[in-house]
Structure 1
């Protein structure tokens, strides 16, 4: 049975007015406690800095005492503020984010601190750069009709260390992927691997970019006849025939729709018996705000739209049609 609900404004207004707004007072209270800890920490540190400056002018030998006091206060208030922030974040996820997910489909499972496993990320082979940090949250797992899926926010990074002419080292963290990562059953056992990626090279370099595509990528280049699709995506596959079998005109049109609907770079891969999809979105998606309104109807609509990517991909790619059977 399809539990997909209508994405009309009325249902979202009802969700906001009946299930979220009544809890905003409680959330504001929890956020207020966090803000108070920050305010106390700042005031205390400023007072001790002034005290240190006065000690320094007087030439007292007890200069280290207030310095140690500043460090101790920062540690104590930092721990307390972190605890308050965790409580506020947990409440926000339970009272806002989880309710949005359940509005889309009450049978989906939501785990605020869950994420797509590293093994799934690696199996997708979409981002082949080795990573040093792997983080994520807001895992949604479920089934739409016959198709099982998982989706979560992910952020992978690698550490880059450089040394300047004076021998000083500098470390920076470089993002490999940040956004929503999705995978679902395709109901076909693929013999090869097919990759669909944003076409940066041809978009900016034209014919030279096409030549670059042939020598780069995880597999040989596949040239398709859909002109609009070729402008947005580049396809590589270990099996040219299978790639064309997968990328039907309907599937290519669906990928273009997903690219347009979410207005971000989108990667796909078809490996094993699953389809993988990564939507690159640089901002944090489902986190509580520290200042201003906690959440409004417009933000509820944005979250709702992002979580619906699960059913959008499944429906757009016709994964429930089951036109194939697994070998």
Structure 2
């Protein structure tokens, strides 16, 4: 079924299931677009009236007040129109794409993976000050339950400039797709697989840095290509080697190459966690331009397909272990 869909049926589904909805979504979006135009006009009028008042034209005060009121009305109506369009896009487009991947999966447009799950993965150990996400997908593939959603986690950095003024900025910890699934094994320790940036940039010094900077002792494996792409730390060296079989390592390399992004894995408790860093909005509507093109639907399809790809590539449905 998947090979048939990927081989040509996506275009047919786009024509039959997505394209007929575009007209209605376009009409809804036009209200949000008009709000932008009216908002720009109101701001221009505000500037004009402020200049007139500064030049002594007291009669312009009434125009200034009306412009402020108009701008507030436009903002309120614009936000309402955008929310309506945003909801429609998620329901009429994104939900349909999820159905194409697997009609049995549950899709929650405003849902996200719980922050406790994110913390349990122990993939990113920086304290989180802002936790956001959406597009939660939940399901069971054969024997394996999973969850996946878009997440954006940040911390607040506070600095003081040369004049003693306090400055704040939000720094991204992780942005992208976050996945976790049952591994059907209760792990004794914790195993972490992270992108290898230190050794690639610093060579032998990078390897030394890995030994002292990781969340657990460094694990050195024999797969040369894997070692170039990832660095492994584990609290239990023997267990890590049982988990990271040659097949699993090859699968992780394929996942990284397929999605062409920074990929993190951890094996904690009885679950596998995977974070795919993607520094862009993944399933969001656009205010201008085409509502959605075929290639954009294809991109969504392949991103939601990551759930199946990880489960299949990591052989999670092959129950080689039994939980205690």
TM-score (norm 1): 0.96
Correspondence list, 1:188-267, <5 A: 188-267=185-264
Give the Å deviation of 1:44: 2.2
- Cα distance in 2 for partners of 1:71, 1:164 equals 34
132, 145, 157: which is aligned to 2:129? Answer: 132
SS at 1:110 equivalent: strand
Paired position in structure 1 for 2:26: 28
> Quick one: which of 10, 14, 18 aligns to 1:12?
10
Give every structure 1 segment of 4 or more consecutive aligned residues whose post-TM-superposition deviation is greater than 6 Å.
Answer: none
Q: Which of residues 284, 289, 294 in structure 2 aligns to 1:292?
A: 289
2:53 corresponds in structure 1 to: 55
| C-alpha separation in 1, matches of 2:4 and 2:179 | 22
Please give the root-mean-square deviation of Cα atoms over the aligned residues, in Å. Answer: 1.5
Corresponding position: 1:88 with 2:85 = yes
Task: Name 1:157's counterpart in structure 2.
Answer: 154
| Partners of 2:67 and 2:120 in 1: CA distance | 48
Is residue 179 of structure 2 the alignment partner of residue 185 of structure 1?
Answer: no
Partner of 1:320: 317
Deviation at 1:11, TM superposition (A): 1.5
> Is the CA contact 1:5–1:103 (under 8 Å) kept in the aligned structure 2?
no
Any conservation in 2 of the 1:52–1:66 contact (CA below 8 Å)? no
Q: Deviations over 1:229-266 (max 9, x none)?
A: 00000000000000000000000000000000000000
**Contact 2:182–2:271 (Cα < 8 Å) also in 1:** yes
Cα displacement string for residues 71-128 of structure 1 (whole angstroms, at most 9, x for unaligned residues): 4333321111111001001111111100000011100000000000000000000000
Q: Where does residue 39 of structure 2 map in the other structure?
A: 41
Secondary structure, aligned partner of 2:80: helix
Deviation track 1:257-297 (CA, whole Å, cap 9, x = no partner) reads 00000000000000000000000000100000111111111
Matched, 1:75 2:76: no
Q: CA deviation at 1:161?
A: 1.1
Superposition deviation, residue 63 in structure 1? 6.9
**C-alpha spacing 1:91/1:125, structure 2 compared with 1 (3 Å):** same
Contact 1:45–1:73 (CA<8 Å) still a contact in 2? Answer: no
With structure 2 as the length reference, what TM-score do the two structures score? 0.97
For 2:302, the equivalent position in structure 1 comes to 305
Name structure 1 gaps, 5 residues minimum: none
Counterpart Cα distance in 2 of 1:15 and 1:68: 51
Q: How many residues align?
A: 324
- SS state at 1:230 partner: helix
Deviation at 1:55, TM superposition (A): 2.6
Q: Partners of 2:273 and 2:18 in 1: how far apart?
A: 32
Question: Cα 1:252–1:7, aligned 2, differ >3 Å: closer, same or farther?
Answer: farther
Q: What SS is found at the alignment partner of 2:12?
A: helix
**C-alpha spacing 1:165/1:145, structure 2 compared with 1 (3 Å):** same
Q: CA deviation at 1:311?
A: 0.1
Cα deviation, 1:197-221, whole Å, max 9, x if unaligned, reads 0001001000000000000111000
What pairs up with 1:160-175 in 2 under 5 angstroms? 160-175=157-172
